[in-house]
Chain A
Amino acid sequence: MATDIDTATDRQRGRASLVDGRLLSLCLGSSFVVVASLLVQVSFGTYSMSIPEAWGAVADAAVWTNPQVLFRFLLGEGLGNIVASTLGFSTAEVDLATATNIVWNIRLPRVFVAILAGMALAVSGAIFQAVTRNELASPFILGVSSGAGLTVLLTLVVFSGATFVVPLTAGAVVLDPTALLPFTAALGGAIAFALVYAIAWKGGTSPVRLVLAGVVVSTVFQSLQRALFTFASDIGVVQQALAWTTGSLTGVGWGQVRVALPGTLLAVVLALLLARQLNVLLLGEKTARSLGMPVERMRLGLSVVAIVAAAASIAVAGIVSFVGLIVPHVVRNVVGSDYRKLIVGCLFVGPALLCAADVGARLFFEVVFDQPQQLHVGIVTGLVGGPYFLYLMRKQDTMGEL
């Protein structure tokens, strides 16, 4: 019989099933959106330069041919030089043209932060949706965002002005509170999620109880956030705090890229490696358990990954709503529920959504009304995400089930 041939192709198919045309076009399309947003973002700003000038600055050979410049951007002045010298590159100063300086120091980092935050939020949402077996789950719903937001606000309001000196062998590194934000955010997110888990626990957890507990906890934490405004000493801090709670990319620089990068990278790598575990969780708790998975422990571990991701993004961009909820939906509609593909898709669609939204947030008033105001990006994602979610709800009868 032809079974031998069949089984041979079977095997190839099993291995090659990750190459998916729809996923590929989704990723290409999203990358296109990101690149387009990047080119738009670098072309506008208070310092006027022509579009060819701006785009030329992005491709400036002075940056790309000097690794130490890239290292210094990515890792900071001190660490960048250390890494560059240990890798055998020169640490010589490079004189950059004014346009290049502006594009690379002011306009580009904002796009990079949007990319990182988009990835982190999308992956976080995707994980939470599998862990709670609920399509409506997101770091926002489960209280993680509010918890992280609260501790971020606490850091900003209570500890603003304080600095921390960390002694290292190669000299002391002075940290201001913003460098600690990912940690305080992760701590807050973890505390909130632990509370949610504890409230929902009743000899095991259920998706519905988790979401309900999440709503309870985030309501309380949001109230506490508002209460903190009362204690803010001056209006500047209040404005800054408001930007955090809405989610904003205004004024972010390389410092924020450095803050968001490690957590995002770690969470993304773990999410990709653990995609199969997420897939098994989708088969139902009982099946996962009968296959030998320690379900509660796995859920907890995966939640930690999702919290790290959410915290990395909240630490730099504040609470950007809807990205963590919408992006996994969009990707799932295109590539299906396989998390090996879903996570990859999220890594592209998340940045695309956030970058495009940030273009809108930054340039809407400037281009349409010729006014210098900028919106917070969280407002744009909310305005776009809300109706889109409504549309999904109308279209899909099975919404809410995974």
Chain B
Amino acid sequence: MSRQDQDSTQGPTTGGGEPAADGGESVDPDGADTRWATPAHDESAGSAIVGEDLAIGYPSTDDPIVECARLDVPQGEITALVGPNGSGKSTLLKCLARELAPERGGVVLNGRALQERSSKELARELGHLSQEHDSPSTLTVEDLCYHGRYPYRGLFDSLSEADDRAVERAMSLAGVDHLADAELGQLSGGQRQLAWIAMVLAQDTEVLLLDEPTTFLDLHHQLRVLETLRKLNADEGVTVCVVLHDIAQAARFADYLVALRDGEPYDWGPPREVVTEELLADVFRVDAAVRYTPEPEVIPRYALAEESDEEGTADPVTDTTPEESATDTTEKSGAGVTDADGRRSDDDAE
């Protein structure tokens, strides 16, 4: 489904967009299109991942943190898990990646239960970039990407041509091929995150799970990360499921949203149906204006008072943080996506 999809989804946007400012760069993923393909949810698409009757907790906690009767990650689309701090979105993602075994229920990936696979088999079908990873400072970007080939190599196997090709492709998709020899310690946080994404891409999986890949990045690199995912989804039909901190960004970027509140899905569906003023009040505890111009815009106004009879899982201060950064993002991203400054800062770091 890859090629046609790319054409049909990218067609409308490339025409209107101004030619990319960085057309001279050898990195073609950026050069082609600075705008995202329009998110579109296809009802008829099957589910790449289905979670059923899930109860997920940690060994240290008594009660499950997430309970979910059914969760669908639509095939070939970008799904964003959103929710305030402590709503269980990362926990849910860990369960989908088999990092955390559910206390009850099961996860089915591409029609087969998750635990029927060996760990390498799973790693060939499902890529997972967790929030916690260590970057040895002297490791080069290219060597990091070669680690992404781990599930394809036996204990003592050397590299094959296929490994070389996959790494080249991954680095060019993530736009880090010009940094191949750079050591992780020399890179900015955003470049490092792109390098990590390139590593997961080198795994060459049909499904990709990412836990808050844009958190702590500057705006330019946040968008670079999201563009890479969009491009990957459009070009290769990769199913992406991503935890995003920022509801406004998620609304613009994802085909499908799952909003979590207190460990339970509150609503799910295409962003247009899910992102409403009511959701922002109920889930995020903020009063916000939601407009479509036609891009979704979320303008948070103030934090709502904590409901006194709530369990009180998260305090109001932390609850509002995501929205504050969300304002930032929407306003700026509306103005111009990849501005020259962002590029230049990128080059300076080399």
Contact = CB atoms under 8 A, between A and B. Distances in A.
Interface of A: 1-3, 6-7, 10-11, 13-15, 17, 133, 203, 273-274, 277, 279-280, 282-284, 286-287, 289-294, 336-338, 402
A1 B26 contact: yes
B147 A337 contact: no
Contact of A11 (B120, B124, B143, B164): B164
A291 B134 contact: no
A277 B181 CA distance: 21
Given A14-B146, A291-B203, A292-B124, A6 B137 contact: no
Contacts of B26: 1-3, 6
Interface string B1-45: 000000000000000000000000010100000000000000000
Given A292-B151, A337-B137, 4 more contacts: A2-B26, A14-B159, A286-B99, A292-B119
Contacts of B159: 14-15
A291 B133 contact: no
A290 B147 contact: no
Contacts of A274: 155
A14 B168 CA distance: 10
Interface string B96-133: 01010000000000000000001111111001111011
B156 interface: yes
Contact of A289 (B119, B156, B203): B119
Contact of A292 (B120, B143, B164): B120
A290 B143 contact: no
A284 B97 contact: no
Nearest to B59: A203
A261 to B, nearest CB: 23
Contacts of B181: 13
A14 B123 contact: no
B252 to A, nearest CB: 28
Contacts of B134: 133, 282-284, 287, 402
B147 A336 contact: no
A282 B135 CA distance: 8
B97 A14 contact: no
A103 B133 CA distance: 53
B171 to A, nearest CB: 8
- Enumerate the 7 nearest inter-chain pairs by beta-carbon distance, A residue then B residue, closest first: A336-B138, A292-B123, A292-B120, A292-B151, A291-B150, A290-B128, A284-B134
21 contacts: A1-B26, A1-B28, A10-B180, A11-B168, A13-B180, A14-B164, A14-B167, A274-B155, A277-B155, A283-B147, A284-B132, A286-B130, A287-B130, A290-B97, A290-B99, A290-B127, A290-B129, A291-B147, A292-B150, A292-B151, A338-B139
B148 interface: yes
Given A6-B177, A203-B59, A292-B123, A14 B142 contact: yes
B151 A10 contact: no
A301 to B, nearest CB: 10
A13 to B, nearest CB: 7
Interface in B36-89: 59
A10 B168 contact: yes
Contact of B168 (A7, A287, A338): A7
Contacts of A277: 155
A10 B34 CA distance: 26
B138 A280 contact: no
Given A6-B26, A14-B142, A337-B136, A273 B156 contact: yes
A15 B136 CA distance: 20
A294 B117 CA distance: 13
Nearest to B130: A286
Residue of A133, A292, A337, A402 with most partner-chain B CB within 10 A: A292
Nearest to B60: A203
B143 A17 contact: yes
Contact of A279 (B147, B156, B203): B147
A279 B145 CA distance: 12
B95 to A, nearest CB: 13
A286 B151 contact: no
A275 to B, nearest CB: 11
